[in-house]
Structure 1
Amino acid sequence: MIHSKLLDNNENNNLNFSQNLYKGACVKIKNSNKTFQVIGLNIGKEICWVREWPFACNSKKTFALEISQITLQTFCSNNSSEKLSNFKI
């Protein structure tokens, strides 16, 4: 079963969402149809670092993103999670 959480644009929901965001979570972001994985968090500054999911082992393309830019949080698919199990995040 795939679980997801949709965000509203009000501050209260964004604060609650940022408290539930975790390293390793897969997310969707504004202005993109791609899935990204959270690889780092700074809740105090409301910033996270993400990379495209599934990722290529030879790719190190990560970028910082304001947590408010996340529109959907979902679990990574089982196939992609198996690939990830061989790597440290």
Structure 2
Amino acid sequence: MSFSKLVEIKNNFKFDANNSCKNLYKGACVKIKNSQKTFQVVGINPQSKVCWIREWPFALEVNKTFSLELNQITLQTYCSDTFNEK
């Protein structure tokens, strides 16, 4: 098991939308309701309680960023580097 996977397992935590501005940051990876995929936060608007995310890992030629209400985030985690492993 790589160090990054160990860190990821130890540092997952349930996301609390009420304290989202304290914990959520650009570059954070999150899980969202109704999806098993991991997404990366690319922008946050705390006043509107909305963030913009993209699927992680992402392909450079694909630009599929979308907005999401913060209460749709279920888990915040560190981004895995599994896309580098074969």
Shorter chain as denominator, the TM-score bin is: 0.7 to 0.9
**Normalised TM-score (structure 2):** 0.80
The alignment of Structure 1 onto Structure 2 pairs a total of residues equal to 76
Superposed, which structure 2 residues align to 1:43-82 within 5 Å?
Answer: 43-79=46-82
Identity of aligned residues (%): 55
Structure number with the bigger relative contact order (C-alpha 8 A, sep ≥ 6) is 2
Deviations 1:17-58 (A, max 9, x none): 342100000000000000000000001110000000000010
> 1:4 maps to what in 2?
12
Which 4+ stretches in 1 moved above 2 angstroms?
A: none
TM score, norm. by length of structure 1 = 0.78
Which runs of 5 or more residues in structure 2 are unaligned?
1-6
Gap runs ≥5 in structure 1: 8-12, 83-89
Offset at residue 79 of structure 1 (A): 4.5
